[in-house]
Amino acid sequence: MKKDILFEKNYLTVADIKNYLCISSTTAYELTHRKDFPVCRLGSSIRIPTQLFLVWVAKHTRIPADLAEEHKGENIHVK
């Protein structure tokens, strides 16, 4: 699935998260158990609200000082 199409959905699956972050299935499931990770549990199904996921990724993205200075004032979106 193309990444731009992925974010047209309101909720993502664990597989979507795995593919977007290029991580293992185990690591993706471990994320869903973190207290700070946005997750909606529906019985045995796990869904992640897309917009909250993007906020979480941005919050957990460290930007090196030289890049931050280079792009100061720009509205950079993680996608």
- Nearest in space to 14 (alpha carbons), one of 36, 2, 38: 38
SS3 for 40? strand
47 forms bridges with which residues in the sheet? 40
Per-residue model confidence (pLDDT) at position 61: 87
Side by side, which strands form the sheet with 40-42?
11-12, 45-49, 40-42
Task: Kindly tell me if the per-residue pLDDT of 2 is higher than 80.
Answer: no
**Res 68: pLDDT:** 58
12-27 mean pLDDT: 96
Digit-coded pLDDT (tens) for 20-78: 999 999 999 999 999 999 999 999 999 999 999 999 998 998 877 776 566 666 655 54
The structural domains of the chain, ordered by start, are: 3-70 (1.10.10)
DSSP E strand stretches across 1-79: 11-12, 40-42, 45-49
